[in-house]
A = this chain, B = another copy of it.
Amino acid sequence: MWIGRNRKARVTYGFDEIALVPGRITINPEEVDTTFSIPCKNGDALTLSIPIMASAMDGVVDVRFAIAMGKLGGIAVLNLDGVQTRYQHPDEVLAEVLSADKDHVTALLQKMYQEPVRDDLIAKRISDIKSAGGLVAVSCIPQRAEHVGPIAAEAGADLFIVQSTVSTVRHVSTKYPTLDLADFCATMPIPVIVGNAVGYDVTLELMECGVSGVLIGVGPGAACTSRGVLGLGVPQVTATVDCAAARDAYFKKTRRYIPIITDGGMSKGGDVCKALACGSDAVMVGSAFAKAFEAPGKGYHWGMATPHANLPRGTRIHVGATGSLEQILFGPAVVDDGSQNLVGAITTCMGNVGARTIKEFQETEIIIAPSIKTEGKLFQTVQNVGMGTR
């Protein structure tokens, strides 16, 4: 579309603007396969029975949460730049965030994250999770990856994530050394996932560096304000579709299938289903898990760019602690708004569209349907129930 003289712009879409179309064949939801695999260097793969990861956010994942998630078949990512590796006793610090009032919480977070990260705590957190028997996934920012990566691998991490607001292969700076991603992936003994990205070209370039997965999404997170502060971002439907095309092109060329993981903007089962139907191999979810009784945020959740000293790009939100992690993943849901039993939502939706596997689910017919959230729902909206829950 033309947005003005001599200048065109693509129309892009977010989750609320689309819907999935029921299939001509339906399948018993108990008979669909939701397996998700992350390729390892040696040709093996980390295989998970459910395509859902928990975000590397301090209100969501700590050691206890990561262990619980692993036991349920999923994987939670521990943020190695967060409070867990800055503080010996992070719970005391977290308690302050929870009790801070709205007008002072940003300043508090800014101060709290000035405490330096400790290498010994990195190793300790990892081995604590590891000792419970599950997979260990950790993340850090690009500037610290070369230092932190080997420590994490050494301590037993199974998956390493290099995460920043916008990831590219080429970052220009004359003031600090930049990460050579291809070199880093080649050196690390464990799979490296990188993000976040939103474009075809960038995703392709990241895959050519040897990553084992790409996180998709700039700014959609429930507690993120980058889109307001910077004007930056691509809605998740288009971002996912574009990056899935890059994955497929890369696979066609190399026969290596590198998964993409849609990250952020999905609070309900329906959003998760849409992300997969748009072509994602798995999703990374924050706020939905911040609602778990097991989450360290105890019903609070905040963006990982909130503590930025000069330009915070996140906020603290209250999501409430509404159920156990097991309920959130597998039900039984005792709420009617789609925020519990995310896996049940995936399998039921797959059954209704007739998809046996995630790969088939990625082929679901999508429609542009801006009225899908409101048609017939006036009472729910007015009464703050069901799809109108606020």
Q: Which of A1-49 contact B (CB under 8 A)?
A: 1-7, 9-28, 30-31
Contact indicator per residue, chain A 161-188, by CB within 8 Å of chain B (1) or not (0): 0000110101111111000000000000
Give chain B nearest CB distance to A276 CB in angstroms: 9
The answer to whether A7 touches B366 (Cβ under 8 A) is: yes
The answer to whether A309 touches B338 (Cβ under 8 A) is: no
The answer to whether A372 touches B235 (Cβ under 8 A) is: yes
| Residues of the B chain whose Cβ atoms lie less than 8 Å from the Cβ of A374 | 14, 16
Contact indicator per residue, chain A 304-335, by CB within 8 Å of chain B (1) or not (0): 00100111111111110000000000011111
| Residues of the B chain whose Cβ atoms lie less than 8 Å from the Cβ of A246 | 5
| Residues of the B chain whose Cβ atoms lie less than 8 Å from the Cβ of A170 | 24-26
| Residues of the B chain whose Cβ atoms lie less than 8 Å from the Cβ of A236 | 375-376
Q: Which of A216-257 contact B (CB under 8 A)?
A: 218-225, 227-242, 244-246, 248
| Residues of the B chain whose Cβ atoms lie less than 8 Å from the Cβ of A369 | 12, 14, 233-235, 238
Alpha-carbon distance between A4 and B238 when the two chains are bound, in angstroms: 5
| Residues of the B chain whose Cβ atoms lie less than 8 Å from the Cβ of A174 | 28, 31
Give chain B nearest CB distance to A174 CB in angstroms: 6
Copies per complex of this chain = 4
Q: A26-B171, A176-B28, A233-B372 are in contact. Are A311 and B344 (CB under 8 A)?
A: yes
A377 at interface by CB-CB < 8 Å: yes
| Residues of the B chain whose Cβ atoms lie less than 8 Å from the Cβ of A88 | none
Residue from B171, B197, B332 within 8 A of A25 (CB atoms): B171
Alpha-carbon distance between A309 and B332 when the two chains are bound, in angstroms: 7
A371 at interface by CB-CB < 8 Å: yes
The answer to whether B371 touches A235 (Cβ under 8 A) is: yes
Q: A12-B368, A236-B375, A269-B229 are in contact. Are A25 and B314 (CB under 8 A)?
A: no
Alpha-carbon distance between A233 and B171 when the two chains are bound, in angstroms: 40
A128 at interface by CB-CB < 8 Å: no
The answer to whether A315 touches B235 (Cβ under 8 A) is: no
A273 at interface by CB-CB < 8 Å: yes
| Residues of the B chain whose Cβ atoms lie less than 8 Å from the Cβ of A274 | 231
Q: A4-B245, A379-B319 are in contact. Are A165 and B352 (CB under 8 A)?
A: yes
Alpha-carbon distance between A95 and B168 when the two chains are bound, in angstroms: 52
A92 at interface by CB-CB < 8 Å: no
| Residues of the B chain whose Cβ atoms lie less than 8 Å from the Cβ of A19 | 12, 227, 231-235
| Residues of the B chain whose Cβ atoms lie less than 8 Å from the Cβ of A16 | 371, 374-375
Contact indicator per residue, chain A 343-358, by CB within 8 Å of chain B (1) or not (0): 0110011001110000
The answer to whether A24 touches B333 (Cβ under 8 A) is: no
The answer to whether A379 touches B270 (Cβ under 8 A) is: no
Give chain B nearest CB distance to A215 CB in angstroms: 13
Q: A13-B371, A309-B332, A317-B379 are in contact. Are A232 and B349 (CB under 8 A)?
A: yes
Alpha-carbon distance between A372 and B229 when the two chains are bound, in angstroms: 12
Most buried by B among A15, A106, A316, A367: A367
Stretch at the interface among A117-125, A148-156, A381-389: A381-389
* Contact sample, A vs B, 10 pairs, CB 8 Å cutoff: A1-B11, A1-B368, A4-B237, A19-B232, A21-B232, A227-B270, A231-B273, A269-B311, A315-B380, A378-B390
Q: Which 8 A-B pairs have the closest CB atoms?
A: A4-B241, A14-B371, A315-B386, A231-B270, A265-B376, A28-B173, A229-B338, A5-B245
